[in-house]
A and B are shown apart, each in its own frame.
Chain A
């Protein structure tokens, strides 16, 4: 069934017509060209397709288009503002938390949600907070380092 939905996408009011049961990951990637949102399992197991819905991390492979209506959506493309990289993005770069990078957008958005809920997590809390996002390259250590760096910075979660 076609529906007309309005939502805020990366800060911009967005209106579009789509199938109500279209997966959000497909809508973002195929219809809107936002391929920074990755898909790696399609079953909610890996976290690669994480987006922020009203600031909370959600798996876009398990969401249908209808669920976007009226929400504020942030994908990885909307994160870096005019001032350059978001502190979490910057920390992933400087701490060497990126290898192949396919899990990276999901992990960055998941980290931002974690820091929103807990601005000063310790390493154990970071590990637990990110345990829904799989990474096959890094062994997670440098990802934990990156989030820890942000948590320890005077700017906090920003």
Chain B
């Protein structure tokens, strides 16, 4: 295996171009999927195929006879707990008692090549006792329903939660207007281009080295160790550049299977790389939801009461489904002042496909329902969609709907004011009127809010290490994954700014559990904030060490006389210089590097006393905000919906790297537009109807408008260089913005997304009666 540590040449001397881009445009960059090596063993999984059944036996005899098969492993070959999961450890590495969805892994095949692997997988026979399948929420929650996890005390309810404040019922009775709305969202597939992939090898000392496309290297090692009964210290996990993740690699995919394979491959490297179809039917997806909303306001349009019931279908396993539901619950009332709330949410086990983390983490669903309900209410009150939001949007010091006091930067009102001045808003009537024959145009608005970090209980911690190398360059050790979002480049930029060094004087070591320090997951809009803070402290400490030593060498009277310049330290009064390479030799080894850890602050509020909800992340302290506008054109003959223009105004704190921030907003908005317009992962009683990229429709370059991203002036005092999370918030807006625009264009409001031409046309015909 080649060295997959990053040490890249950057061709520009500022930070405007991502340092990882040259390696990616030349094809030189090696992803986990690109690792092979001599004597490679191909590993593949026999999946259950059944929805709900008790395992009676596995017959591998025919498959084992095949030429080119090294080994077939089942649960009997696992010495550990054979369970994976972050909160509930409820998912087997290889099924040992029950099958709970067709993607469950039953046997692991090690083969000389892919052809033999494919034939062996077909020959393995699984003997199952079928159990009744549970495919909808009512059936799962019905008294006496068959249990998907017999030992789970709450039956098929993985997690249930409630946020209550004030007197909702009384308050509704005094409201001048009340809007009710039900909305349903389907599964959304991540569809990262690099499907789940990894590579593993057993070392002569009994330890294992893995290279995996993952968001969570350190946590993975704990999970692998526990599941397989291994020593955590004997597992080294390296994360090569990751070909997209979006939450789908936050949680074990190939890791334990690869490690198990490497334990039985006699020292040969083992590779697993799921095919697209396998990724679709075994990998996790965005939770489907059913959402019931009731919102009331006084005559002045001020929200008084909100009641919501939120049902998340978590599929067969937890897979962070409880945390997804909790974040949805906390965001169910959005960035608004609502004094009386009764919000209840359930994450429910079913035998449907596996749900899990997906950028937005439960929020895009609730925001879609809330923001449509707000538009319905605005219409009743004869208020513009902008005005009703302006009257209710939170400002710093307010309590948001969930009851969290907003002590961090809160610039939503500024976002609304900025949008109000934009030509897309001021010129909306003229734009709508210019629709051609058989076309109708509409403008839709939505607010967005997204909390960052892990909440009050799980410490949101990262440690950063930086050292001055013998060549006089600064090497940054980062244990937090970059799955494409560019946080690694931002880290380089942060260090470069503090140390006054151009990219060419910086080196970057990517996540590697042996080389880098734990940094937590690449999720929850947290990496740049939390690791960034640790890195700032480390870079400042190292800078101080260098300056102090240089001052001594220069005989400087004051430390301020010494500055860092690219590649050197300089004594300002005399102009003397010492190259950093020499400084590296002068410094004591412990002064030539710095390690700092940072733990993100938590909210002082406790809007819930429920320890389970707190553990699952309620509440957050720091939120990003925004307001989105979609300009939509509907073809009334075909029902086709086209988003012609899109504007995202955001408060994500100070924008440290405008290019990377824009990448995040544009990419998230397009994933959200896909969810609004075409993306619907469908399974019927375990049979997948959208099993590939021909039937699951992703947006192409042709389907999308140019987007405008407008950050407002903002500064988060606790954030590194004033920034806060921006990786997810962009995906919370497109679905409600398009839904509201569709209503504005042609007076229809669909009960579910995506808003396909077929559904829109049917709604148009029904409306015409």
Complex Cα spacing A73 to B37, Å:
24
A-B contact count (CB 8 A): 176
B27-A34 in contact (CB<8A) = yes
Complex Cα spacing A30 to B704, Å:
36
Chain B CB within 8 A of A115 CB: no
The contact string, 1 if C-beta is below 8 Å from chain A, for chain B 22-50, is 11111111110110100000000000000
B25-A104 in contact (CB<8A) = yes
The contact string, 1 if C-beta is below 8 Å from chain B, for chain A 136-153, is 111111111000000000
A134-B34 in contact (CB<8A) = no
Chain B CB within 8 A of A54 CB: no
Could you tell me the distance in whole angstroms from the C-beta of A75 to the nearest C-beta in chain B? 7
B663-A138 in contact (CB<8A) = yes
Task: Out of A85, A100, A126, name the residue touching B194 (CB < 8 Å).
Answer: A100
Residues of A within 8 A of B486 (CB): 99
Nearest B residue to A103, CB-CB: B193
Residues of A within 8 A of B704 (CB): 127, 139-141
A93-B25 in contact (CB<8A) = yes
A137-B22 in contact (CB<8A) = no
Chain A CB within 8 A of B669 CB: yes
A102-B693 in contact (CB<8A) = no
Chain A CB within 8 A of B276 CB: yes
Nearest A residue to B195, CB-CB: A40
Nearest A residue to B194, CB-CB: A102
A96-B26 in contact (CB<8A) = no
Interface residues of B in 356-415 (CB under 8 A from A): none
Chain A CB within 8 A of B692 CB: yes
Residues of A within 8 A of B706 (CB): 123, 141, 144
Chain B CB within 8 A of A158 CB: no
Task: Out of A41, A75, A89, A96, name the residue touching B276 (CB < 8 Å).
Answer: A41
Complex Cα spacing A57 to B221, Å:
41
B27-A76 in contact (CB<8A) = yes
Could you tell me the distance in whole angstroms from the C-beta of A95 to the nearest C-beta in chain B? 9
Could you tell me the distance in whole angstroms from the C-beta of A129 to the nearest C-beta in chain B? 8
Complex Cα spacing A45 to B276, Å:
11
Could you tell me the distance in whole angstroms from the C-beta of B664 to the nearest C-beta in chain A? 9
Complex Cα spacing A94 to B242, Å:
21
Interface residues of B in 251-297 (CB under 8 A from A): 275-276
Residues of A within 8 A of B276 (CB): 40-43
Query: If A130-B701, A138-B666, A139-B707 touch, does A98 touch B25 (CB 8 Å cutoff)?
Result: yes
The contact string, 1 if C-beta is below 8 Å from chain A, for chain B 332-349, is 000000000000000000
Nearest B residue to A94, CB-CB: B17
Nearest B residue to A98, CB-CB: B21
Chain A CB within 8 A of B660 CB: yes
B666-A36 in contact (CB<8A) = no
Residues of B within 8 A of A48 (CB): 193
Chain B CB within 8 A of A71 CB: no
B192-A100 in contact (CB<8A) = yes
Residues of A within 8 A of B692 (CB): 41, 43, 45
Chain B CB within 8 A of A101 CB: yes
Residues of A within 8 A of B275 (CB): 42
Interface residues of A in 48-70 (CB under 8 A from B): 48
Chain A CB within 8 A of B478 CB: no
Task: Out of B31, B34, B663, name the residue touching A137 (CB < 8 Å).
Answer: B663
Chain A CB within 8 A of B557 CB: no
Residues of B within 8 A of A123 (CB): 706
The contact string, 1 if C-beta is below 8 Å from chain A, for chain B 649-669, is 000000000011011001101
Residues of B within 8 A of A105 (CB): 25, 27
Residues of A within 8 A of B663 (CB): 96, 99, 137-138, 142
Chain B CB within 8 A of A131 CB: yes
Chain A CB within 8 A of B490 CB: no
Residues of A within 8 A of B433 (CB): none
Residues of B within 8 A of A98 (CB): 18, 20-21, 24-25
Could you tell me the distance in whole angstroms from the C-beta of B326 to the nearest C-beta in chain A? 26
Residues of B within 8 A of A36 (CB): 26-28
A134-B27 in contact (CB<8A) = no
Query: If A30-B36, A142-B663 touch, does A126 touch B694 (CB 8 Å cutoff)?
Result: no
The contact string, 1 if C-beta is below 8 Å from chain A, for chain B 695-707, is 0001111111011
B707-A141 in contact (CB<8A) = yes
B659-A93 in contact (CB<8A) = no
Complex Cα spacing A132 to B670, Å:
17
Complex Cα spacing A76 to B585, Å:
41
Task: Out of B25, B483, B694, name the residue touching A100 (CB < 8 Å).
Answer: B483
The contact string, 1 if C-beta is below 8 Å from chain B, for chain A 4-46, is 0000000000000000000000000110011111111111011
Chain B CB within 8 A of A80 CB: yes
Residues of A within 8 A of B699 (CB): 140
Complex Cα spacing A36 to B195, Å:
16
B702-A43 in contact (CB<8A) = no
Chain A CB within 8 A of B601 CB: no
Query: If A30-B36, A131-B701, A136-B698 touch, does A45 touch B693 (CB 8 Å cutoff)?
Result: yes
Could you tell me the distance in whole angstroms from the C-beta of B119 to the nearest C-beta in chain A? 16
Residues of B within 8 A of A102 (CB): 31, 192-194, 243-244
Complex Cα spacing A34 to B11, Å:
23
Residues of B within 8 A of A75 (CB): 27
B671-A143 in contact (CB<8A) = no
B670-A139 in contact (CB<8A) = yes
Residues of A within 8 A of B28 (CB): 36, 77
Chain A CB within 8 A of B146 CB: no
B693-A134 in contact (CB<8A) = yes
Nearest B residue to A108, CB-CB: B25
Could you tell me the distance in whole angstroms from the C-beta of B255 to the nearest C-beta in chain A? 19
Nearest A residue to B192, CB-CB: A136
Task: Out of B25, B190, B242, B694, name the residue touching A43 (CB < 8 Å).
Answer: B694
The contact string, 1 if C-beta is below 8 Å from chain B, for chain A 98-136, is 111111110010000000000000010011101111111
Residues of B within 8 A of A136 (CB): 190-193, 244, 246, 667, 671, 698
Could you tell me the distance in whole angstroms from the C-beta of B388 to the nearest C-beta in chain A? 29
Complex Cα spacing A39 to B18, Å:
24
Could you tell me the distance in whole angstroms from the C-beta of B710 to the nearest C-beta in chain A? 14
Residues of A within 8 A of B246 (CB): 136
Chain A CB within 8 A of B485 CB: yes
Task: Out of B12, B193, B194, name the residue touching A134 (CB < 8 Å).
Answer: B193
Nearest A residue to B190, CB-CB: A136
Complex Cα spacing A40 to B195, Å:
7
The contact string, 1 if C-beta is below 8 Å from chain A, for chain B 183-217, is 00000001111110000000000000000000000
The contact string, 1 if C-beta is below 8 Å from chain A, for chain B 294-308, is 000000000000000
21 A-B pairs within 8 Å (CB atoms) are namely: A35-B27, A38-B31, A42-B275, A42-B276, A46-B193, A77-B26, A84-B11, A89-B25, A92-B21, A93-B18, A93-B21, A99-B667, A100-B194, A100-B244, A101-B20, A102-B192, A105-B25, A131-B700, A139-B666, A139-B667, A140-B670
A residues in contact (CB < 8 Å) with B: 29-30, 33-43, 45-46, 48, 75-77, 79-80, 84-85, 89, 92-94, 96, 98-105, 108, 123, 126-128, 130-144
- Starting from the known contacts A92-B25, A99-B486, 19 additional A-B residue pairs (CB-CB under 8 Å) come to A30-B36, A34-B27, A38-B243, A45-B692, A45-B693, A46-B193, A84-B11, A85-B22, A92-B21, A96-B17, A96-B663, A100-B193, A100-B243, A102-B31, A123-B706, A139-B669, A139-B704, A140-B699, A141-B707
- Shortest 9 CB-CB distances between A and B: which pairs? A36-B27, A100-B484, A101-B24, A139-B670, A102-B243, A76-B27, A35-B34, A45-B693, A102-B193
